[in-house]
Amino acid sequence: MTVPREMPEKWARVRVRGGPEEERRVRANAREYNEKFQYASNCIKTSKYNIVTFLPVNLFEQFQEVANTYFLFLLILQLIPQISSLSWFTTIVPLVLVLTITAVKDATDDYFRHKSDNQVNNRQSQVLIGGVLRQEQWMNVRVGDIIKLENNQFVAQADLLLLSSSEPHGLCYIETAELDGETNMKVRQAIPVTAELRDTSKLALFDGEVVCEPPNNKLDKFGGTLYWKENKYPLSNHNMLLRGCVLRNTEWCFGLVIFAGPDTKLMQNSGRTKFKRTSIDRLMNTLVLWIFGFLVCMGVILAIGNAIWEHEVGVCFQIYLPWDEGVHSAFFSGFLSFWSYIIILNTVVPISLYVSVEVIRLGHSYFINWDKKMYCAKRRTPAEARTTTLNEELGQVEYIFSDKTGTLTQNIMVFSKCSVNGHSYGDMQDVLGHKAELGERPEPVNFSFNPLADPRFQFWDPSLLEAVKLGDPHVHEFFRLLSLCHTVMSEEKSEGELLYKAQSPDEGALVTAARNFGFVFRFRTPKTITVHELGQAITYQLLAILDFNNVRKRMSVIVRCPEGRIRLYCKGADTILLERLHPVNQDLTSVTADHLNEYATEGLRTLVLAYKDLEESYYRDWSERLRWAGSASEAREDRLARLYDEVEHDMMLLGATAIEDKLQQGVPETIAILTLANIKIWVLTGDKQETAVNIGYSCKMLTDDMTEVFVITGHTVLEVREELRKAREKMMDASRSVGNGFSYEEKLSSSKLTSVLEAIAGEYALVINGHSLAHALEADMEVEFLETACACKAVICCRVTPLQKAQVVELVKKYKKAVTLAIGDGANDVNMIKTAHIGVGISGQEGIQAVLASDYSFSQFKFLQRLLLVHGRWSYLRMCKFLCYFFYKNFAFTMVHFWFGFFCGFSAQTVYDQYFITLYNIVYTSLPVLAMGVFDQDVPEQRSMEYPKLYEPGQLNLLFNKREFFICIAQGIYTSVLMFFIPYGVFADATRDDGAQLADYQSFAVTVATSLVIVVSVQIGLDTGFWTAINHFFIWGSLAAYFAILFTMHSDGLFRMFPNQFRFVGNAQNTLAQPTVWLTIALTTVVCIMPVVAFRFLKLDLKPELSDTVRYTQLVRKKQKTQHRCVRRAGRVGSHRSGYAFSHQEGFGELIMSGKNMRLSSLALSSFASRPSTSWIETLWKKKSSEGSGAGSPSGTADKTLKV
């Protein structure tokens, strides 16, 4: 190939070795030439290990955990005889168990990653090699190869330059749902010089060279040049088929691989998988370090005590208590004692803590997987927890970032209403022709007169069809416009069976409506459109298409009618089109505007329709100028825009359309309830602004009651900054005074808000476009944008790229320190899902890329409500209660050794025997706390959904934080003090029944150990809020297991088998046979537990939490229902009328389902719970007693029931 002289010098060196790629040069059918640039291959690898590297790499990763390294260090210490007072098996058994379980889990996960990689890499592709199409594995596709794709095939291999296709002029049609979330069809076209290469023999001789931009993440832009046969041809995004799109309505096409593997634009937008840890995990790591510091302090204190004791007292007893070999001073004895106590006291952080946490998380994950209320029967798709490490974080979410298309909506457009010549059609009507009342469901319009009608289309106003049949010229022209002004492609699978492929769902809905009302679009050619108008085929000559874009917000076609008249048909946004109408339309415009406002309040998507007749001479002149503008090399877009604007003036108004974008079931209710739970929802969509805003109104994120909706559309940094500043100023001005006698400044000073803007009065929303967002996310403006957005109730970001979605999430994570959740269903949402603390994938219409990258997945947005408010809240509650109890019981267990050290000469002697120490966390106390961590709940699931305010403690991190940790530690230390000193004081002077001295080391150890097991068992009984058979079995079973093992270890039979290990025969039986011992155990238990019971009762009475209030109101309601049933039974004598129950329920069902009463009930309960003036229990009892006098009156009972 001869390189043209115009090729820049820098293109001779594309990649600097070791540096970033500056330009890319690709030559077709030249693998050897392209390989010297070392472009990325198409082979993917997501696995981490192989057979050789698994063991060393996995162990290295596991010992990156501080806890595992800590326990390995303890194990090494226990192997040193001079400092170890415990056997090595007390540490190595649980450590090996944890490492093995984790290794098996990691190996299983990596096996499935290997399996997935092999499946993807071995997919087959048709690659042109040596002039012949060959089946080649996907991983062997290289940059510069020519690939053949067929209809409905995913472009899964690479980013391709379209060379030719089966369609005329090198056209091909694609869906880009995996890229931008839009399921509408888009058109791509090969450049004319390659469109002629339609067979493999010509393509095999093609040796053109493409010089283009390096790999990047810009989905909507591509710049390059094709050099071939001494000529150069400009390339744009219109010529590219990106990885992730699907070929539609095109039999085949050929493409040249430009980017492969990680260099493709889809992969450039995917981002790296990030390791996610919960806030509780991060807090636990901090607390473990604190506990380790506390452990060192205790070791130092006891070591100093040992050195002093040995120097002052122990030196006098060297004859029968000599120092160990190698110990020659009291100081060195204290040094060894320090390490001995580190080993003994290490159980303040047992390794079983981490195993138990993983078991609890696994249980919570299974509950999500098994939840039948999150199962979609239509798609046969259950909810799936794809990770086990983030469950409790689901109970702490403050920000939700949601995709729109396929996540909030079904992406199904329905022609709902229209306005034609000042008359509105589309309201449901009864048989008499009057507007149907709410709840009535009349029969849909019968389109049986039209054999080409779409049977799925439904319309409820028969008057519009009557107008068509009566020949109303305005109605005919209205539907004629809808059948002509579009870019829809028609495919006739069989005679009369039409299938429309539209670039947008809106267009498809409008053309389908025209089809059913008798104006059937049949097919098109590049120069004609054929329509069947009420059964008669009419062909219009297509003269020009003035296409839609975000600036114009309208689309027009110019056609020549069969009678020779040239007419322009236009449809577009009302804000744009109404100002381009002829002045004679003023009255009609006023009426139509009223209809548009009515449709908008219903959340419908509206378009205005107009037409204009053109003179032949004017059209010829205008067409010539259009041709010259289209071939201009500079300012081409601006010239075309001016010509379009010129012809689209002084049009005649026809009417307007209103389309409903079908929301997924339950979306408005879910958003309303999540908002009441103090969760902010941001919509990040690649769709256009109008669509996103309409959906915002449909799902009740945006409402007409909002103070103001700010729209940020600036194209420069200065414009965006100014618009954000004005928005903040308006919010501040409107909030100078919040009423009730408090000034704005006073409110700020009394609040704990981190931002001034978060204290504003009124409800605001923010809508920002992608090009404006790009400036807003710059380093010097991101804080201004975030403050403005966080002050708004709703935020909608339109036309955003996948990378921008992730940047918005990262911005909130960076500055707000809040838990974020991202939810989406397409490949364009993958980066956002990976960036957020929690990623949720919707298994919908756009493939499984989002699901594969997610932490949780299900099929409908409404399930998010249950995932957060039920599973998330319960998981957080259970994990917090588990951790509080776990730290309490281990401090109570371990600190007894510390107090004993002051009475044993600081000799590192343990209170308990080594078997009790080994089994305490594995057998005696492990299962009860696991049962609480897996099954506990404060309120039933129905109440969790009914009172969203119950979710707020997780957001505020109230149930487990540093304060709660210190409270648990203090309780554990308090328990350990009583656990040691009460038996110690009793045993000082106690005697047996036979008069012998009771105080001996083994009897004391049995008494303390028994007291400990009973106290912690009673404590977990108090902590358990939801009792199941499993809780009873584990708690009482653990106590039974303790006594069974205790008596077995002190039995005669075990002594005969292992005389050196179990020397104290009969000690447990003798000790526990003494009444004094049992009185000591009872006294210890009462003194340890009673303060806890008293404190909780007073807290429940004086300052109850919302969950306490909810539980108590449920008890009251249950008792009231019982009373009501008794009253009804007594009142049935002499009367068969019992309509009260039905009339009481009537009218409230819709209100409850709408979620409007959730705010009232939640706020009322929360304020009720926080009243300091009187006991809430007394208040409820007063209400209950007053209701007793009115129990015989149904109306009185109803009033009081509603008040509670």
pLDDT tens-digit series, residues 285-319:
888 889 889 999 999 999 999 999 888 887 777 77
| Radius of gyration for the alpha carbons in the chain, expressed in angstroms and rounded | 38
Cα three-residue angle 915-921-924, rounded to 5 degrees? 75
CA 821 – CA 838 distance, rounded (Å): 5
User: Which positions are annotated as active-site residues?
Assistant: 403
Cα 796 to its chain centre, rounded Å, is 17
CA 850 – CA 638 distance, rounded (Å): 39
Tokens, residue 123: 């997919």
CA 360 – CA 383 distance, rounded (Å): 19
Strand partners, 541: 528, 560
Per the listing, tokens 């068969």 go with 1136
DSSP assignment letter at 508: H
Q: How confident is the model over 1177-1203, as pLDDT tens digits? A: 344 334 434 444 343 333 333 333 323
Per the listing, tokens 């979330």 go with 181
What is the per-residue pLDDT for 115?
84
Grouped pLDDT means (10 residues each) for the chain, 1204 residues: 39 44 90 90 80 88 78 81 69 77 81 80 87 88 92 84 89 78 73 90 92 86 88 88 87 93 81 71 85 92 92 79 76 88 84 82 92 87 87 94 81 88 84 53 84 90 93 95 90 78 81 95 87 94 84 89 94 89 93 89 84 94 88 73 92 93 85 92 82 81 86 90 91 62 38 49 84 90 91 89 89 91 84 91 70 86 94 95 94 94 89 86 90 92 90 92 94 96 88 76 92 96 92 94 91 78 79 91 96 91 84 79 58 34 30 33 37 39 41 36 30
What is the per-residue pLDDT for 1155?
36
Per the document, the length of the chain is 1204
**Phi–psi pair at 907, nearest 5 degrees:** -90, 10
What is the per-residue pLDDT for 180?
64
Strand positions, DSSP E, 638-759: 652-663, 680-684, 708-712
CA 12 – CA 3 distance, rounded (Å): 10
Task: End-to-end CA distance of the chain: give it in Å, rounded.
Answer: 87
CA 507 – CA 510 distance, rounded (Å): 5
- Residue 795 makes CB contacts below 8 A (sequence gap 6+) with 680, 682, 683, 765, 766, 767, 768, 789
What is the per-residue pLDDT for 443?
82
CA 475 – CA 769 distance, rounded (Å): 36
Strand partners, 767: 711, 796
Tokens, residue 640: 């075309």
Element (H, E) at 769: strand 764-769
What is the per-residue pLDDT for 1139?
28
Inter-axis angle of helices 279-312 and 962-989, to 10 degrees? 30
Q: What strands, in cross-sheet order, belong to the sheet with 409-420? A: 423-425, 409-420, 652-663, 605-614, 566-572, 554-560, 536-546, 528-533, 519-524
What is the per-residue pLDDT for 720?
93
